[in-house]
Structure 1
Amino acid sequence: MQANATPLRHRFSLVALVSVTLVATGCSSMSERERGTAQGAGAGAVAGAVIGSITGGSAGRGAVIGGAVGAVAGNLWSKRMEEKRAALERASEGTGVQVARTDDNRLKLNVPSDVSFDTGRADIKPQMRPVLDEVSRNLDPNVRLTIVGHTDSTGSDAINDPLSRERAMAVRDYLSSLGVAASRVTVAGRGSHEPVANNDTDSGRAANRRVEIFLSEQG
């Protein structure tokens, strides 16, 4: 029993090492689709190896099967979301809007104050509309949106908390006018409670006055 356990551990360690290496190497040069495929393959390979070992099968064979399944799943997700990400980057070019993929596989748009809202207001600026137009365009039916409004620390929570929510609701209402069902959208206002910069400077306060839009796929 002990003699068989050692080679099995070695095979599993090798599978895990290869899987981690696959995910880690080349990530900076990969496209979102390629990165999603690699991450899916790595996670699937490890899971397949574990299942194969537990059930008495081959860890290596389980890793191959798991890696293939994981690669397909990662690729399918990334293909849809990468296309939307690329379209949003084009629509927001030169505006200061940041488009990124989060660690939990969502697309995040960070919309700064000079694009989104004037100080103390919840009226969408004209510069923001082309970005929101692209958010709504050809939106996959499985995609859900979360919109989060933020303010700087100027003023009290009694002012900032509802203002941040009103900004998120204004974005939701604009998207609804473009055909995005309100039932697909969750809104939240965080006031000044989640700063990304120091509120002691003008530039820091400007960075904290923002709206974040998250797009996520539902199964």
Structure 2
Amino acid sequence: MNTDARSFKRLVLPTTLAISLLLSACANMSAEQKGTATGAGIGVAAGAVLGGLIGGRDGATTGALLGGAAGAVGGNIWSKKMEAKRQAMEQATQGTGVEVARTADNQLKLQVPSDISFDTGRADLKPELRTVLEHFGNGLSNDPSLRVRVVGHTDSTGNDTINDKLSVERANSVRNFLVDRGISPGRIEAAGRGSHEPIADNASAENRAKNRRVEIFLREQDKPA
């Protein structure tokens, strides 16, 4: 093994260990801090390897530093604004059955169950859903960086022609409500999935109720959908 290879190995091994320790510490971090730390760790590793291949030990050191900085920025894609919105919606929907979550691709997701969203076979918003949407829409009209996607779902009762149309109508009802609250229609996408994406089998009334749902997603414009 030549001198450059040994030097590179001495740098990469401690770097790898440091990254492992950094990621293990993420359990005690906020969502935003986790994104920053993870991105920094990945950036350090990639920068060290690339820099080492190009410039030996010195190149690996420089690459690790630059990669870590770039990764910290790139990894921090769950912003304070999104985290604040998630916390606000969790508080606003307590006891309603609405599930509030951060998705793997850093969108805020609200899963609204059938008992507070729509009556069977109808696309009219229930009062409980209107209340949820009032909270969800707060401040969105003044922040053009945020985009909304609404997806309607049905159970398997009836045929696809009916269910596909109904799921779209339900998504559009949510979209129209938000538009009436001042959010530009160009910022809201509405789609229906009919009964094609169940989250439970349709063998029981309870499971069919789970499948009759509306999913509402919020993301920042410059983040991946």
Question: One fold, TM greater than 0.5?
Answer: yes
Q: CA deviation at 1:65?
A: 3.2
Could you list the per-position Cα deviations for residues 78-131 of structure 1 after superposition, in whole angstroms to 9, with x for gaps in the alignment? 211101111111111111111111111111111111121111111111111222
Q: CA deviation at 1:145?
A: 1.0
The alignment partner of 1:81 has SS state of helix
Q: CA deviation at 1:218?
A: 1.8
TM-score, reference length from structure 2: 0.86
Q: Which residue of 1 aligns with 2:202?
A: 199
Q: Which residue of 1 aligns with 2:211?
A: 208
Report the CA distance shift for 1:156/1:28 in structure 2 as closer, same or farther (over 3 A): farther
Q: Which runs of 5+ in 1 are unaligned?
A: none
Could you list the per-position Cα deviations for residues 188-215 of structure 1 after superposition, in whole angstroms to 9, with x for gaps in the alignment? 1001111111110111111111111111
Q: CA deviation at 1:55?
A: 4.0
Q: Which runs of 5+ in 2 are unaligned?
A: none
Q: CA deviation at 1:14?
A: 4.0
Answer yes or no: is the 8 Å Cα contact 1:122–1:166 preserved in 2.
Answer: yes
RMSD: 2.2
**1: CA distance, partners of 2:52 / 2:221:** 31
Q: Which residue of 1 aligns with 2:5?
A: 5
Asked if residue 31 in structure 1 is aligned to residue 34 in structure 2, the reply is no
TM-score, reference length from structure 1: 0.89
Could you list the per-position Cα deviations for residues 64-88 of structure 1 after superposition, in whole angstroms to 9, with x for gaps in the alignment? 3332343345447421110111111
**2: CA distance, partners of 1:113 / 1:149:** 11
Q: CA deviation at 1:20?
A: 4.6
Q: CA deviation at 1:11?
A: 2.9
Report the CA distance shift for 1:3/1:100 in structure 2 as closer, same or farther (over 3 A): same
**1: CA distance, partners of 2:18 / 2:113:** 41
- Most deviating of 174-183 and 132-141: 132-141
**2: CA distance, partners of 1:16 / 1:116:** 49
| Percentage of identical aligned residues | 55
Report the CA distance shift for 1:20/1:178 in structure 2 as closer, same or farther (over 3 A): farther
Report the CA distance shift for 1:4/1:95 in structure 2 as closer, same or farther (over 3 A): same
Q: Which residue of 2 aligns with 1:117?
A: 118
Paired residues, what number?
A: 218
Larger radius of gyration: 2
Q: CA deviation at 1:51?
A: 4.0
